[in-house]
Amino acid sequence: MARRPVIAVVTARGGSIGFPGKNLAPFLGRPLVAHAVREAMTARYVDRVVVSTDNDDIAAAGAAEGAAVVPRPAELARSDSRSVDAVLHAADVLELTDDSVLVLVQPTTPLRTAADIDECLSLYERDEGGSVVQMTGVVEHHPWKACVVVDGRVRPAHEWADLEAPRQQLPNTLRPTGGVYVIGAGDLRRHRRFFVPEVLAQVIPQDRAIDVDTSADLAAAVERARAMGLD
């Protein structure tokens, strides 16, 4: 059976409240969005890379690295817009069939590599369905030892007993890095989310899971990249 077409979508809107111009901020000599495109272009199993954006400078940076550009409507580029809607819009503009495989690659996880993307795609093909999400271990604070507030009252995130349980008795937990999501186009259209069971995780070390939301985050990512010899 022929391999399904794989399309990587780099989502990069122009606006950013906390870090203006974030997706164009320089990382190892090129804008974050260009770096993301380069990693996706380098991945062996990716057939096509597109940038979904509402910003001309971002579009130019992505195109300079070889990506196609899908102009994103303003209503999908607000601060509360969801990445899933931008990816679905790109899939529809490109007239992708449901058997296509979509890879969401976000510029704000710059320590993700082409090898990570290929590993996620290998996991996806092995399971033949569901989705694959890049994740890392949670070491700062176990999520079951947190509380939520509902109607002004405190409730446990999981169970009351977990708040006092020894950490060693609680299960290992993972969180998404934001770096790579893999799903079939048909599944994404049906469910409108990237987490579709069975979900498989590609786990990376926490020091490569930096999510750039501030200039300090970017500086930390650059420092780590240089320590890894990526510059």
pLDDT at 1: 37
Q: Closest Cα to residue 207, out of 120, 137, 103?
A: 137
pLDDT at 60: 96
CB-CB contact of 206 with 93 (8 Å): no
User: Which are the contacts of 100, defined by CB distance < 8 A and separation ≥ 6?
Assistant: 4, 5, 6, 7, 91, 184, 185
pLDDT at 128: 67
Nearest-10 Cα torsion for 205, 29, 69, 107: 20
Dihedral angle sign, alpha carbons of residues 62, 41, 38, 210: positive
pLDDT at 79: 83
Query: Taking the mean position of all CA atoms in its chain, how far away is CA 43?
Result: 15
pLDDT at 207: 92
CB-CB contact of 181 with 103 (8 Å): yes
pLDDT at 167: 85
pLDDT at 124: 95
Low-confidence ranges of the chain (pLDDT < 50): 1
CB-CB contact of 58 with 23 (8 Å): yes
pLDDT digits (tens, 9 = 90+) for 12-25: 988 877 788 899 99
Tally the C-alpha atoms within 13 A of residue 19's C-alpha that lie toward its C-beta: 17
Q: Kindly report the pTM of this predicted structure.
A: 0.92
pLDDT digits (tens, 9 = 90+) for 95-106: 999 999 999 999
CB-CB contact of 200 with 128 (8 Å): no
